[in-house]
Homo-oligomer: A and B are copies of this chain.
Amino acid sequence: MQYGEKMHVPVTLRASGVVILNEGGDILLVRELGAPDQPAKAGLWHIPSGSVEEGENPQDTALREACEETGLRVRLVKFLNAYLGRFPDGVHILRTVWLAEPLPGQTPRPTFAHEVAEARYVSREEFAALYEAGQIRMSQTKLFCEDALREWTRLRVGSEAAGANA
């Protein structure tokens, strides 16, 4: 018996994003201006992310959105996860998120200044405060950042252990 075709759930909305951390584990967030048709976004913080375009690979979307929203060329360090959301009308959205790090010698500066008001690193404490204050655009953003910090810590511990053995 095959797992049948009925089991497959088509996903109509896809987005990709990156959690960019600096050396101290601060998180790079962007604050959206909010388009006239998307007033709900205005002024809220989120990770650099956006829609996967038709025919685009989600990994390429992540790199593109990082560049557009923060001006940074980044390296994808590790895939974190795919996070599922469902709108009240039943439409599924799937967000694929990577841990990323900027290539050296750059300063965050939004390229898409008509969409993004600001891009800056926030500490974990500030992130928690923004979340509590309802200033983070999506509740899932908290999951993205927690997963990123866990993976980032694991990678650092791994590389320190490798250094100690060298």
Contacts and interface: CB of A to CB of B under 8 A. Distances in A.
Contacts of A156: none
Given A8-B140, A96-B79, A44 B85 contact: no
Number of copies: 2
Interface in A70-95: 78-87, 92, 94
Given A87-B7, A137-B3, A79 B94 contact: no
A96 B84 CA distance: 12
A85 B9 contact: yes
Contacts of A136: 2
A139 B8 contact: yes
A54 interface: no
